[in-house]
Amino acid sequence: INISPHQLSYIINSEWKMNFNEFVNSYRINKAQTLLKNIDYQSATIFAIGIDSGFNSESSFYTAFKKATGLSPKRYRETLKLTSEL
């Protein structure tokens, strides 16, 4: 994109009101939410979904997911199951 890392960071900070890690994690969390809703991933572990979403550890996945959604990934999945059963 032909701009320096500093300029990119500035744009992310000013336009989206988040730092670079939060910006990247927002895309990872969206991917995780998609996978948690996907019937093909029903038997996948939470850790596998975290890895497939771009996280390097289960703890960082849980922390970022809960910060973004207010729920742990496990609770989010449970909520999806309860909602689909209604």
**Could you list the pLDDT tens digit for every one of the 86 residues in the chain?**
899 999 999 999 999 999 999 999 999 999 999 999 999 999 999 999 999 999 999 999 999 999 999 999 999 999 988 877 65
Residue 63 Cα distances to 22, 29, 50, 52, 81, angstroms? 12, 11, 11, 16, 22
Here the tokens at position 31 are: 């991917």
3 state DSSP class of 27: helix
Residue 84 Cα distances to 36, 43, 57, 72, 79, angstroms? 13, 16, 29, 18, 9
Q: Which residue has the tokens 């209604």?
A: 86
- To the question of pTM greater than 0.75 for the whole model, the response is yes
Q: What is the pLDDT of residue 54?
A: 98
Of 40, 65, 39, the closest CA to residue 53 belongs to 65
Here the tokens at position 65 are: 């997911």
